[in-house]
Structure 1
Amino acid sequence: MPAPIRSNAPVTDSHPSPTGASTRGPTGTFFLVLAVSMSMIQYAFMLGFLNVGIVQIQGELKAGIEFTSWLFLGGQMFSVLISLVAGRLGDSYGRKRVLVILYSLSVIGSLLALIAGGPWLLLIALTLQGAALATPSLASAIIQQQVAPKHVPVAIGWQYGSQSIGSLTGALLGGFLLVNLPFQTVFAIPAALAAAGLILTLVFAKKDENLTRQPLDWKSSSLLTIGFFTFILALSEVNVWGVSSLSFVGCIALSIAAFIGFVVSSRRSANPLIPLAVLKSRSVWMSLLLVTLFSVATIFDYYMLPYFLANPAESGRGFGWTSDAIGVVVAFTGIFAVLGAPLSGVVTRLIGSGKSMAIGFGIAAASQLVMGWVPFPAEFIYVIQAAAGLGAGWAFASVMNAVVEGATINVPALLATIVSLSVVMQTVGNSVGIATTAAIVSGSTRPDGVLPPSTFIILFSIAAVFYGAGLVVALLVRRARATSGELLPESEVDAPVIKL
């Protein structure tokens, strides 16, 4: 391989445009971002609807809670199986092409859910819709490639903020429709959204240029996928299986063996799924660490909010609110998360992704400290949750901007692959947060169903710690040197040019 070309010119743009990138006007940019983001809006709508209607669905299907939990977990696990491979195939053979395939799977899954009369067909349908969770990496790569560089941070912000739009709409509209319609009918909306996204992508996303067309190393790809799949499965089921169970220990052992096998296979492969040198790059692994920290923190945050609001006021922490009042607060929080995402893009463009991330993490951490430690009147919850939603939406969009930026500068040919790895790390973080939170809540709940004040102090403080850790890491992020498509040696990749 020829020696990497080292550029001595200062890097002035957070998202340098790759060769062949096209620019668009505001209207074209809007429709492109809408097209590639529709899959996440669709899937988030479905999850929001399921959160509201899961009790009714469970009753109509005559299924137990162990089964219905897989209505949420099935799509997540399916996405883990396909995300990394989809990202790499997109980088090699066309991101638009692979995105269209994933959209098609989402449409099929939505249509199957529309006619599902039994639990197993519904599970298969919702699992197929997990294909939507594999699309953000391809969507981010298409945005970076086909949007003018100065608009990329805001476009990425809107892309990831769209998830909150879907969740809000699903919870509010889905809950309303469930009153008078069979639950299967509501799945017509995700089907329509996925179909619209498919059509818009075919119309507004341009054909990829300068593709590597490198064959996929199925051995290293399979090993890394198995490693993540078994690790996330173990975390998801640990509270059911138990830490000492054969199932949990076996999954963890298989996961470790698969990760070791991936490293060995990648060293021997001429074309591994992800070159190990890329994973060693500081700008890459720091971004992946930030995704994980955020994902753990936000689960503690959002998981505990309904418990806090429903907990009786006489217990010392909580207001004893009913589900409708809780829904209003959750929706209010989501609105500010939607606003925080594109706002972070504007700030990222002005001061860089590192400082922008620090602002988002700082706001979110402060809100969690107040939730855990400061007694406040019920009316003040809206102020705190406005900050929590704004900080979380801001931090997440800034982190994903940093992931896209780091991959674009270091390995533009593997942009979708690196972003897909960040999506998998988000799932890992979510699984850690859910398992830990569920264990603490289960262990501290009193016989009358009330949670003591100490539980909220502990869990909101943990969220603040993870957000705070994200703030510290964000301030340490440095921008790597840009190259002419070649991966720099480690000493060069880590050499800071501009402090974000």
Structure 2
Amino acid sequence: MADSLGPTAPPRAQRAPALIITILILAAVVSSFEATMMYTALPGIIEQFHSTPSAAGWILTGFLLVGAASAAISGRLGDAFGRRNVLIVVLLASVVGSAVSLFAHSLAVLIAGRSIQGLAGGLVPLCVGILRENLPRRNLPVAVATVAGAAMCGGAAGNIVAGNIYDAWGWHYIFVVSLVLALVTAAGAVLLPAAVSRTGFAKIDWLGGILFAPGIALAMYGIHESSNWGWDSGKTLGFIAGGLLVLAAWVAWEYFHDNPLLNVRYFASRKIGLTLVVTMLVSFGTLGISGFLGQLVMQMPKIAPVGLGLSAGVAGDISFACSLLGFAIAPLSGRLSRGGRSRNAFLIGAAFGLAAAVLSALLLGTVAGWIVSQLVLTCATGFMLSSLPNLIVEGVHGENTSEVSGFYMVTQNAFAAVGTSVGTTILSQHLIQGTPFSTHASYNILFAIIAVGAVLAFVVALFIRKGTLGETAGDLGQAESQGQLTHLSA
């Protein structure tokens, strides 16, 4: 019943699972590649436009802001109008964003193009929903884990591909790659099984979407600028507080709305609620802080207290090679997740996360030692990023998969941004006088934060019940009887 489309669902064309998975892997790669492809080009853009790091940083932040909103809204729209249809629209919007950026001759136009590109942040929730809609239950965990692993590889490839293109032809041509990749994927998406539409425009809570986006934007702007203004600045606190107030109003609106765009009542589900909590913890540390910390350790000069003196190209090669291990681990995580056992795969990832933090602190003095720590970190992220979407799948009905996956993606992106901001602030507060280098102790503080987050995530995950929705419906049924989850049985 939970995975059924209902007795009135129209007949659906059958497609080979391999074809479906291949197309969705491409879609996940589009999303992750576009998220990371401009990091290597940022210094050159600052120089070309005579800009500041804060202003030029909006080519990254604009993408993340729109991506966070898209992750929530696209999932709900996919549930309403058909996931394949929305997937194609989002991919075509990404093509438009790449084209605008490709021909940009000012920083403002480039930021606008990147913001349009940010709609690609909604691709992964749609991919998860399409997999659940079309694949047998037995094959679903491995398929979800494989697509999630591909997204991780796509993000790592973004640094290598973009770095080489930038060195050879300049940053404009990076957008040629993203444009072609999104266009080819959109053409392939036409081959996916016919989309299933359920509600249409009439029942969409558009105000809920409008309230959500500025709330995220204000809060993330405050977090992004905290490194310039300081965490105790009135402007930083004002933007974050303003964003939180808007989000609070949004939560209240969605909670009392009869047909909300994003059903906040899902947080009353023990499985979904705890899954989102562990997502916050690991996104802040293992996925957020570790994401930028590795590049700093590898690329800082050897004269710094912490630094291996590697070039950007070599550092990118190491990151990409390590990510291949994560892609290989993803199917294993999927197999461990079968039968409603995704919690076990996540627990393994959290344990690896703790080990990676400890090893990183101990082995950052040599390239070989650092590679070992990064391989362990890749194992952590591989198990985490492939098991978390499966935990979402286990905890919701089939028709609500993309909607709740959107919640998950927003949570992951937002807390990774918070972790990045907090981490860079700590490093900036512990500079050696007269140098741009942070102290060894400041790096140890960050490794300790990552380790604590992994331990807390492990403990919280122990309370996540095993089994799929049908097997864990007790807590859901109890919440629904209290009027808290009236839409779970839609």
Matches within 5 A, 1:466-477: 466-477=453-464
Does the 8 Å contact 2:65/2:216 carry over to 1?
no
CA distance in 2, matches of 1:47, 1:267: 31
Matches within 5 A, 1:314-325: 317-325=306-314
Does the 8 Å contact 2:275/2:391 carry over to 1?
yes
Structure 1 partner of 2:319: 330
Q: For residue 72 of structure 2, give the secondary structure of its aligned residue in structure 1.
A: helix
Matches within 5 A, 1:211-222: 215-222=203-210
CA distance in 1, matches of 2:451, 2:5: 38
Residue of 427, 435, 438 corresponding to 2:421:
435
Q: CA deviation at 1:316?
A: 6.0
CA distance in 2, matches of 1:180, 1:90: 39
Structure 2 partner of 1:413: 399
Q: CA deviation at 1:267?
A: 4.5
Structure 2 partner of 1:225: 213
Deviations 1:432-481 (A, max 9, x none): 10111011110112133333221221111211111222222222211465
Does the 8 Å contact 1:144/1:152 carry over to 2?
yes
Structure 1 partner of 2:152: 164
Q: CA deviation at 1:365?
A: 1.5
Q: CA deviation at 1:350?
A: 6.3
Matches within 5 A, 1:74-473: 74-208=62-196, 215-297=203-285, 298-311=287-300, 317-349=306-338, 352-373=341-362, 377-408=366-397, 412-446=398-432, 447-473=434-460
Q: CA deviation at 1:256?
A: 3.2
Q: For residue 476 of structure 1, give the secondary structure of its aligned residue in structure 2.
A: coil
- Residue type matched to 1:83 in 2? A
- Residue type matched to 2:417 in 1? S
Does the 8 Å contact 2:363/2:370 carry over to 1?
no
Q: CA deviation at 1:283?
A: 1.0
Deviations 1:58-91 (A, max 9, x none): 3333333222201111111112333322222221
CA distance in 2, matches of 1:260, 1:66: 28
User: Unaligned 5+ residue runs, structure 2?
Assistant: 485-490
Does the 8 Å contact 2:346/2:383 carry over to 1?
yes
- Residue type matched to 1:345 in 2? G
Q: CA deviation at 1:359?
A: 0.5
TM-score when normalising by structure 1: 0.86
Alignment RMSD: 3.0
Q: CA deviation at 1:16?
A: 4.7
- Residue type matched to 1:368 in 2? A
- Residue type matched to 2:129 in 1? A
Q: 1:454 to 1:148 in 2, by over 3 A?
A: same
Does the 8 Å contact 1:223/1:258 carry over to 2?
yes
CA distance in 1, matches of 2:296, 2:71: 33
- Residue type matched to 1:151 in 2? N
Does the 8 Å contact 1:146/1:206 carry over to 2?
no
Does the 8 Å contact 2:41/2:163 carry over to 1?
yes
Q: 1:312 to 1:250 in 2, by over 3 A?
A: closer
In the alignment, is residue 71 of structure 1 matched against residue 59 of structure 2? Answer: yes
- Residue type matched to 1:286 in 2? L
Q: CA deviation at 1:190?
A: 0.7
Q: Percent identity?
A: 20
CA distance in 1, matches of 2:371, 2:363: 15
CA distance in 2, matches of 1:425, 1:406: 16
Q: For residue 41 of structure 2, give the secondary structure of its aligned residue in structure 1.
A: helix
308-317 or 148-157, which moves further after superposition?
308-317
Q: 1:105 to 1:465 in 2, by over 3 A?
A: same
Does the 8 Å contact 1:344/1:356 carry over to 2?
yes
Q: CA deviation at 1:425?
A: 0.7
In the alignment, is residue 482 of structure 1 matched against residue 431 of structure 2? Answer: no
Q: 1:450 to 1:484 in 2, by over 3 A?
A: closer
